Amino acid sequence: MNQSSDPFAPDFEGEAPPILALDLRHLSEAQFAGLGVSRVAYVKPVTVNGARAFAIHGADGTAMALAGDEAVALAAIAQHEMMPARVH
């Protein structure tokens, strides 16, 4: 029996759920938002006034913050209960 509070959640009876492959380049904005895009933030190395810094952006591209080092950027994302992803 499904232990989840969601009566429609699949019950895999102790098995790992199946892995799905998606081509994210072809999702609509609504489909992308449904994947938890509001819970993902990206860290991208940038140069600001000749110094290396790390820009934090929401998954939709919105600039959120700038940090002096990558560890601080990742910690800020985690503090806001978001999942970090690196952009190279």
Domain ranges of the chain: 24-86
Single-letter code of the amino acid located at 60: D
16-28 per-position pLDDT tens digit: 666 666 676 777 7
Three-class SS of the chain = CCCCCCCCCCCCCCCCCCCCCCCHHHCCHHHHHHCCHHHEEEEEEEEECCEEEEEEEECCCCEEEEECCHHHHHHHHHHCCCEEEECC
pTM comes to 0.59
Which pLDDT does position 2 carry in this prediction? 46
